[in-house]
Each structure stands twice: as structure tokens, then as C-alpha cells.
Structure 1
Amino acid sequence: MTYRELLRKGQIELTGMAEAKVDAMLLFEYVTGFDRMKLITDGGLECSPDVEASYLSLIGKRKEHVPVQYIMGYTYFYGRRFYVTKDVLIPRFDTEILVSSALDCMDGREKILDMCTGSGCIAITVALEKSNTCVIAADISMAALEVAKANASKLLADVTYVQSDLFEHIDGRYDMIISNPPYIESAVIESLDPAVKDMEPRLALDGGMDGLDIYRRLVFDATSHLEDDGILILEIGYNQGEALSALLTENGFEDIEVIKDLAGLDRVVKGVYRRNRCLTD
């Protein structure tokens, strides 16, 4: 079998799955080392039985709805390669919008907390993009923290990790708190692609009946852990901008802004907590 025929077989095996051709090509590159140009020039060469077996084995895993990123053990975020396992949510482009929005308003803010860090992609990116920051990252899952620590080590990012159920073990105040918490409504999860609902950690997906359970706790407790003029910035679901804006207002935040993604959907909300004003009002 030639390399070109092998790729075609993988594409056929994945027929009917979302992104079948893309996933087949990603796994092909992972196993063979062939990029698209090499496929053009050398695709007619015969591949070894071992290569064929390895590739089709991974195609079989993808047919069982295992995400390509878990199969390969990595994904890319903000131009960097991150190690991922089934213990962490796979970083997505939506979260790059959260990070970009946070970086845009970070000047002069040095002490940063990333809550619900997962793979560590947010904390690590902030630490590398803003070298003058002191970044703390927290997660309830020790398994997730081990993944995050491995990523920080590989990418040479100076991040301190804390196992904590939200703010349970968090001390001090921060200039900015960033979070991509679980925000999908419990009833909606069963309608998601099997690669998400059955493979990614439910703990990182399930936001309760209305998707706002973690936000309520996080926003309330954040007021005790933000410096004066501290910023809370959160990734949100496409239909949660109004609800999160109201929640921030109820908890004393000002200058609230909802930021949209490239599709024009609500994706990030941020607010400023003016501690001294709130304490004197």
C-alpha cells in the first residue's frame, strides 16, 4: 500500500465523522512524518506494514470518538504545543480570545490568578507573554495540575500551582483573576459530540442546571481576592453574556464589558472591582 492509499483508507474509515479528512491527515502526519508537500512528492512510495498498522490503529481509536488531541497527546494553543491527556479539557481557540483580552488590559497588573487552570494553557501563556507577571494557577483536580506542571516545565514558564476547590486554598489578592470554568448546562452535555461528552472530563464541562453554578461561587469569592481596581475576566458560553453581566453587577463590579468571538457570539466578560469604593458605599 502506498502512503497516498493509506491516507485515503483512513479518510474512508472516518467517513461520517466531523472533520474526518482533517483528523485523518493529522494522524497521518503524526505516524508518518509526512506533511502535505511530502505527500505530494513521495505519496506514491510503498509504506511499511508497521506504519500501516500503526496508522490504522489510531484511526480505530478515532472511530471510537477519542479526540485526535488525546490520541497524539498534544495540541497547539497560542502558537505553542501543549501536552494533553483525558484529565484535562482540550484547549480551544475560544480560550485564545480570553487570553488575548486579558493581555490587552494587563499593563501594570503583575499578580495574576488563573482559576480552573486545566492544562495550564492560560497561565503559561500569560507568564510567557508577560514576563513581569507573577502567575498562580489553581485547579481542583490533581491529575490536571500534573499535566499543567509538565507543560510549564517543557515551555519554561514560571507558574506556581495550587490544588484548590476554587478559592478554598487561595491566599492573598490579585490584580487580575482569569478563568475558563465549566459553563455548559447539565442537560445540554448529552447532546454534545461523543468526543466531548464521553471523552473530555465532565468536571471541566458541567456548569450545573443553568450553566452558572461555578460562576456564582467564583464571582462572589473573587471580590475577596482582588486588589483595588482588580479585573475579573471570564470565558462564557455564547448565550451567557447578559446573565454574567448581571451577576458581576450584583457583586459590585463596574465597567463591565462583554467581548465577542470571531463569529460575533458572546465569549468573554470582564469587570473591574473597585474595592475601596465598595467598602465605603
Structure 2
Amino acid sequence: MQNIKIRNLIIESVKELECISPTPRLDVEILLCHVLKIDKIKLMTSYESYIEEKDLKEFKNYMEKRKKSMPIAYIINKKEFMGYDFYVDENVLIPRPDTELIVEKLYNKIKVVKKDISNGITNRHNNLKILDMCTGSGAIIVSVKKLIQENEVDINAEFYGVDLSKEALNICKKNIKELCVEPIELINSDLFASSKFEELIDSLDIIVSNPPYIEDDIINTLKSDVKDYEPMMALVGGQDGMRFYNAIIEDSLKYLKNNGYLIFESGHNQARKIEKKMLECGYTDINIYKDLQGFERCILGKLVKI
């Protein structure tokens, strides 16, 4: 391989991705920074430098993957979410910015419950139990526990992450360790099917979930970087996209405490269906929050058991 300056390599590589990616320049820079183990500022100051042969070979290998529409996050096994770097591969969904809204609402609700405990408004003990159903990479549960640690929120809580995929749980375990938020108990289960849940009847304070919610008929219309690489079992939500929402809402009645909370991420057109189901099952004080694009993305409700 002949010597090539980083500047010229970027120009050539961007052209190769122009028909593949909506962000070809960004993709190239991320891949180069990863290969060279430098940040973007250092990359910019290195434009006139020549790239070493071994690094060029690795970069070209990554480029071939990207030209086949493999997502950048899977190529470099990393995705930033809530300001934290999560390990990801094709066994888990890539965390999206929209999901940060769910983390924000969960974190705020934990602080509200803590305040209610301190003020004697609730008879809960200061030992909350928070469960993330369909946890995947652990983006939600790991991020919220990290926020609690970093902001020194004075609350004792037990955290659970649940997923049917053992591979996903292994990735979640890796992120728990790398981001130093141990312990979080991981449960391999098809929703609430595991016998472990017999210990959690009427004991959970908050259930949060970003379940599979894409309608069966929509899957084949998705972009290739999603349908060809991200795990189908984490995407497909049944004919109307409500399969997992309905099951989680119904089963939550058994495992949430009275006045416990259920928090969902929603597909952009499903919030009202989820709200209707929650109302039918005894949830009150339901709030729907929009993401930065204006889509109804987060649904939060309180369960009142009669």
C-alpha cells in the first residue's frame, strides 16, 4: 500500500460513502479516530500526516463493512448514550438519542419517590426496586444508576435488568462492569416468565421498558442498517406493535407495588394505544412526553391497586 495523507484519505473515503450514508464525512472521521485512537481535534491537526500501513489496512476493513450498511456503532463496538460509552454489537439494539428521554423521566421519578419517603408522604421503605424489562445493552438501567452515583442521590435501590437473550445480558453485564455500576441483577427471562419473579410479587416500585414495538408489516420497509443488522427479536412487536406493551402492562399488576410506576418508550404513533391499555388496567396520572422531534415518546403512569 502506498503512503497517503490523512487529508486525502478522508476525501477519498467520503466519496465512497456518499451513496451509502447520510453522514459520510462524520462516518469516516469516527472510523479514523477509532483506528488511530485519537479524538476529532487531534485528527484535524493531523491532516498532513501520513497514515501507517497497519492503520490504513484496519481502516479499509472498517470501510468495507460500512459500505455494506453496517452501522458505525457495530463496527467500532461503541455507542455514546447519556454521555457514557456503551459496548454494543449485533446482539443488542443500538441506543438511540430518543431513549435518553426515558432515562430522564425515570431518574426524575426516582428522586420524587425519594423525596416522598423523606417527607413521610409514602410508607415505602428507603429501598426501592427498579426493573428494566427488555434491557438489551442496559442503556436505560445502567445510565440511571450512573446518574444516581454521579449526582450522589441519597437513596438505596435494587436494580434489575431482564432480557430473553443471553447474549444481550452478557453485553449488559459488560457495560455494568465498564461503567462501574455494580450490582445490577440480571434475569434471563421471556418477560415475567422466570421463577425469579415469584420473589418480586408486589415488590417493584418502578418498571421501565423499551420493548420491541415495530409492526410486523413495517419491518421489511426499514433501512438496511436496521433490518439487516439489528436483532429482530428486539424490533418486532407483533401485528400492531402492541404485543409486548399489552403483556407488560397486564403482568405489571402482579409485580408493582400499590402506587408503583410504569414507564415506557413508545413508537411515535403508539402512545395513545398504550395509554388506553394502561387506563383499562388501573393506571392513573398518565403523562405522555414528546421527544425533541415532537413525537410522543414516553408514557408514565401510576398503578393504583384497589
With the shorter chain as reference, the TM-score category is over 0.9
1:175 to 205, 213, 219: 205
Pick which of 46-55 and 253-262 moved more.
46-55
Taking only the aligned residue pairs, the percentage that are identical comes to 35
Aligned equivalent of 1:164: 189
Aligned equivalent of 1:123: 141
Pick which of 108-117 and 66-75 moved more.
108-117
Aligned equivalent of 2:276: 246
Asked if 1:152 is matched to 2:173, the reply is no
Give the letter aligned to residue 258 of structure 2.
D
Q: Deviation per CA, 1:51-78: give whole Å up to 9, x if none.
A: 2221111011011111111110111111
> Could you state the TM-score of these two structures normalised by the residue count of structure 1?
0.95
1:198 to 228, 235, 254: 228
Aligned equivalent of 1:73: 77
**What SS does structure 1 have at the residue aligned with 2:284?**
strand
> Could you state the TM-score of these two structures normalised by the residue count of structure 2?
0.87
The structural deviation recorded for 1:129 is 2.1
Contact kept in structure 1, 2:192 and 2:251, CA below 8 Å: yes
Contact kept in structure 2, 1:67 and 1:195, CA below 8 Å: yes
Aligned equivalent of 1:9: 12
What pairs up with 1:1-281 in 2 under 5 angstroms?
A: 1-16=4-19, 17-107=21-111, 108=113, 110-131=128-149, 132-157=156-181, 158-169=183-194, 170-171=197-198, 172=200, 173-275=203-305, 278=306
The structural deviation recorded for 1:34 is 4.1
**Root-mean-square deviation over aligned CA pairs:** 1.3
CA distance in 2, matches of 1:186, 1:253: 28
CA distance in 2, matches of 1:161, 1:68: 27
CA distance in 1, matches of 2:78, 2:245: 28
CA distance in 2, matches of 1:150, 1:36: 26
Aligned equivalent of 2:153: none
The structural deviation recorded for 1:230 is 0.2
Contact kept in structure 1, 2:33 and 2:43, CA below 8 Å: no
The structural deviation recorded for 1:126 is 2.0
The structural deviation recorded for 1:47 is 1.5
Contact kept in structure 1, 2:36 and 2:55, CA below 8 Å: yes
Number of aligned positions between the proteins: 276
CA distance in 2, matches of 1:134, 1:126: 12
CA distance in 1, matches of 2:95, 2:40: 25
